[in-house]
Amino acid sequence: MATRARTTRHHPLAAPSASSAAAAFTPDALSVAARHLEVGGEWVASFAVVGFPREVNPGWLAPLLTYPGRLDVSVHIEPIDPATAASRLKKQLAKLEAGRRHTAEHGRLFDPQVEAATEDAYDLSSRVARGEGKLFRVGLYLTVHAVSEVTLADEVAALRSLCASLLLDAKHTTYRALQGWVSTLPMGLDLIGMRRTFDTSALAAAFPFTSPDLPAPDPTSVAAPSGVLYGYNIGSQGLVHWDRFGEGMHNHNSVILGRSGAGKSYLVKLEALRSLYRGIEIDIVDPEDEYARLAAAVGGTYVHLGARGVRLNPFDLPIHTRPDGRRTAPKDALVRRSLFLHTVIAVLIGSELEAAQRAALDRAIAATYQCVGITADARTWTRPAPTLRTLRDQLTDAGRTGDHAAGDLAARLHPFVDGAFKQLFDGPSTVNPEGHLTVFSLRDLPDELKSIGTLLTLDAVWRRVSNPAIRRPRLVVVDEAWLLMREKAGAEFLFRMAKASRKHWAGLTVATQDTADVLGSDLGRAVVANAATQVVLRQATQAIDEITQVFDLSAGERAFLLSADRGQGLLSTGTQRVAFQSVASPIEHELVTSDPAELAAYADTAEPVDEAEAAYVDLGVHGGDSTAVAGDEFGSDTDDQIHLDAA
């Protein structure tokens, strides 16, 4: 076994008299061995490429930049004077021809490598003589980084295998490890001097020296990438990770556009599931009831609006329970809830309120809260909230005293209190929408209750997002957003979330297949413009022109989106774009697929569900006070909150 020489050298730049700027890039000490270095807490090994393929394609060095570990690649280029190049080519041709004639005279077999080299030399000589190209001396050096000596051995083996697949002969800079490392630093120093001659076309094929992968947040880190795994890179076969809550992001919003069957919901569910692994809380507005299985699998809350006995009381005050048992609420909670009730009543009756109706309703709302003991005194806000029936009774009493506007409102609220549509308002809230995953299903709401059900859902979501007692990242997912944007309340919510979610450490995910309608409206364009993360899946021919204009697609990207397979798309993160294919493990696939054939197969093999358990999941009842949303251990007091004592 060879003896390893180790020497510790202090760099002169690390002296106390050095500038702080230079000292920031200078290691405290270097431990030099025969084939590697210890630079601070890292282990590095350097290689010099001494053998190259005969023919190369454009971008042939790109696979080195897609290496999954940390790899420094340095290319040193020195132009050769044309006169010197012609003289050297002439001498090289003379040597090659002399060798060929000597082989022929002695009746030996020709060496294929010599034959190929001779042909290349003749071709290169003629092009240089005609001025079609020039010659360069090129040195290619590689430095791989690792956190330990054992890991370094694995990285070295992987790098050499990659070089061999590219027909590159990479040799260790044995006993010149320090010089090899310095040659790969951005200092323009070539201390190895192992160069090969390239012509203009071969050198140009190495550029643009870019990678199809997204740039790492910290290129100097050897840690595993953070964020959510979206799939694999179609161009490099590397993995595509993206962190919407990473540093430097303008906002945490995302928009996903694609035609029906392109894999939008599949990708949204994958991102939601993998975001849960990172401790991100998620609220999902589900117009098509596609997330019930996912919520059941991860222990989330499933609010099935439209099912029997499921109610969200619009009169509930936004009161939040802290871990220490104390309850907090915004100082103007009662006033804001009264204003929200004006919107609720307007949606219920299907028209804007007139001045007389607004005045009558405002008096009735105040009387409604007072009749259950809730006043401007914050200590009374923890009492049970009134219901729509209580408001209707107050309006009826006012109508009997001659207030015709109040009597008219009471009559128009009759179907929602005693009529066919009372199921959503007939009593206090039966569900407490809280937890790491909350799904609001809107599919089974009658058409007459779609608008008000959407409004109550979005109000519950916004109350959770704006809850200052919770200090952790959150996502609000709106699948099939085109259905939500048909409702005025839904469109206004999307616009509000797109603008204000960043201030609450939240991100909005909007997925829709109706691309033309979204991009054709000012609201839709505003939502897209305020999304720092944009995903475009396969598009229809009729919509590709507008997609090309809005996202400024190249001809290649346009053709890719027209022919992309299911789950393939473009991930745009501002100045960077990457083509990816979403992938899922078998367990994830079973939870997120919406293929009817697969769902039928899973249903045939599933165990029967107890009726009581099914009803429990259907109602989404998880205990707790329906007027209070629990906080968490990171809750803190803020200036715009008040503390409520027991009433």
Q: Which of 111-115, 308-312, 365-369 has the highest mean pLDDT?
A: 365-369
Q: Which residue has the higher pLDDT, 298 or 431?
A: 298
Q: How far apart are CA 373 and CA 88, in angstroms?
A: 100
Mean pLDDT of 253-263: 88
Render pLDDT for 43-62 as a digit per residue (tens, 0 to 9).
Answer: 999 999 998 887 777 778 87
Mean pLDDT of 94-119: 74
**What residues contact residue 7 under an 8 Å CB cut-off, 6+ apart?**
31, 32
Residue 53 half-sphere exposure toward CB, CA atoms < 13 A: 15
Helix (H) or strand (E) holding 229: strand 228-233
Q: Quick one: which of 131, 117, 136, 126 has its CA closest to 197?
A: 136
Report, in angstroms and rounded to the nearest whole number, the Rg of the chain calculated over CA atoms. 34
DSSP 8-state code for residue 588: H
Residue 306 half-sphere exposure toward CB, CA atoms < 13 A: 21
**What residues contact residue 187 under an 8 Å CB cut-off, 6+ apart?**
none
Domain ranges of the chain: 7-80+134-204, 247-312+431-624, 314-428
Answer yes or no: are the C-beta atoms of 102 and 60 closer than 8 Å. Answer: no
Answer yes or no: are the C-beta atoms of 467 and 629 closer than 8 Å. Answer: yes
Q: How far apart are CA 229 and CA 605, in angstroms?
A: 30
Mean pLDDT of 111-129: 70
Residue showing tokens 């609006």? 305
Q: pLDDT exceeding 70 applies to what percent of the chain?
A: 81
Q: Would you say the pTM of this structure is higher than 0.75? A: no
Confidence of residue 482 (pLDDT cuts 50, 70, 90): confident
Nearest-5° Cα angle at 183, 181 to 184:
70
Q: Which residue has the higher pLDDT, 481 or 126?
A: 481
Mean pLDDT of 369-373: 90
Confidence of residue 289 (pLDDT cuts 50, 70, 90): confident
Hey, which residues does 257 pair with through a beta bridge? 512, 536
Residue showing tokens 């608008």? 451
Instruction: To the nearest 10°, report the CA torsion of 245, 250, 253, 256.
Output: -110
State residue 446's pLDDT score: 86
3-state percent breakdown (helix, strand, coil) of the chain, nearest 5? 40, 20, 40
Render pLDDT for 208-250 as a digit per residue (tens, 0 to 9).
Answer: 666 666 666 655 555 566 788 888 888 777 788 888 887 777 8
* 3-class DSSP assignment, residue 491: helix
State residue 637's pLDDT score: 41
Sign of the dihedral through C-alpha 371, 373, 376, 382: negative
Q: Quick one: which of 320, 324, 593, 564 has its CA closest to 464?
A: 320
State residue 322's pLDDT score: 61
Q: Quick one: which of 169, 154, 173 has its CA closest to 46?
A: 173
Question: What size, in residues, is the chain?
Answer: 647
Domain formed by 247-312+431-624, architecture: 3-Layer(aba) Sandwich (3.40)
| 497-504 contact pairs (CB < 8 A, 24+) | 497/253, 497/462, 497/465, 498/253, 498/526, 498/527, 498/530, 498/531, 499/526, 499/530, 501/251, 501/252, 501/253, 501/465, 501/476, 502/250, 502/251, 502/252, 502/253, 504/465, 504/466, 504/474
Render pLDDT for 551-594 as a digit per residue (tens, 0 to 9).
Answer: 888 888 888 999 899 999 999 887 788 889 999 999 999 888 88
State residue 453's pLDDT score: 86
Segment among 298-302, 366-370, 390-394, 593-597 with least mean pLDDT: 593-597
State residue 580's pLDDT score: 92
Tokens of 179: 């010089």
Hey, which residues does 72 pair with through a beta bridge? 143
Residue 91 half-sphere exposure toward CB, CA atoms < 13 A: 5
Q: Which residue has the higher pLDDT, 236 or 302?
A: 302
Q: Which residue has the higher pLDDT, 324 or 310?
A: 310
Q: Work out the end-to-end distance of the chain between its first and last CA atoms, rounded to an integer number of angstroms.
A: 81
Pairing of the two strands 437-441 and 301-304: parallel
Q: Which residue has the higher pLDDT, 136 or 623?
A: 136
Mean pLDDT of 37-48: 91
Q: How far apart are CA 556 and CA 441, in angstroms?
A: 39
State residue 5's pLDDT score: 37
Of the CATH numbers 1.10.3720.10, 3.40.50.720, 3.40.50.300, 1.10.8.730, which one belongs to the domain with range 314-428? 1.10.8.730
Q: What mean pLDDT value characterizes the chain?
A: 80
Render pLDDT for 602-638 as a digit per residue (tens, 0 to 9).
Answer: 777 765 544 334 333 333 333 333 333 333 333 334 4
State residue 621's pLDDT score: 35
SS (H, E, C) 371-398: HCCCCCCHHHCCCCCCCHHHHHHHHHHH
Mean pLDDT of 498-517: 83
State residue 309's pLDDT score: 84
pLDDT at 646 over 50: no
Packed helices 388-400 and 404-412: angle between N→C axes, nearest 10 degrees = 140
Q: Which stretches of 472-620 are assigned E, i.e. beta strand? A: 474-478, 506-512, 533-537, 568-572, 577-581
